């Protein structure tokens, strides 16, 4: 948006292998109201929107960090994502 007004949106597609469902369950609790996510096969798909681009970028960054922690936790527990 060139005028800085409106709604910015992003869709993230993160391949998580067989752990996609578990990853989505873990991150969904923390993201309620900020980002919507669901599983498509072995991919976690997340959609977010905000009226401010900075807010949207921080939301996406937080989501990606949560996915990384979830995957690390699953691996440490003996899972194989």
Question: Domain 8-76: what homologous superfamily?
Answer: Alpha-D-phosphohexomutase, C-terminal domain (3.30.310.50)
What would the pLDDT profile of 20-43 be if each residue is shown by its tens digit?
999 999 998 877 788 999 999 999
Contacts 24+ apart (CB under 8 A), 52-60: 52/8, 53/8, 56/8, 56/9, 56/10, 59/34, 59/35, 60/10, 60/12, 60/35
Question: Per residue of the chain (81 residues), what is the pLDDT tens digit?
Answer: 334 566 899 999 999 999 999 999 999 887 778 899 999 999 999 999 999 999 999 999 999 999 999 999 999 988 666
The confidence score (pLDDT) of residue 80 equals 66
Q: Taking the chain, what is the end-to-end CA distance rounded to the nearest angstrom?
A: 38
Mean pLDDT of the chain: 88
């Amino acid at each position: 948006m060139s005028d800085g007004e409106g709604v910015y949106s992003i869709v993230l597609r993160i391949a998580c292998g067989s752990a996609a469902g578990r990853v989505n369950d873990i991150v969904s609790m923390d993201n309620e109201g900020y980002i919507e996510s669901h599983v498509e096969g072995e991919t976690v798909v997340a959609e977010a929107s905000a009226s401010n681009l900075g807010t949207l970028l921080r939301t996406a960054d937080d989501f990606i960090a949560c996915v990384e922690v979830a995957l690390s936790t699953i691996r440490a527990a003996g899972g194989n994502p």
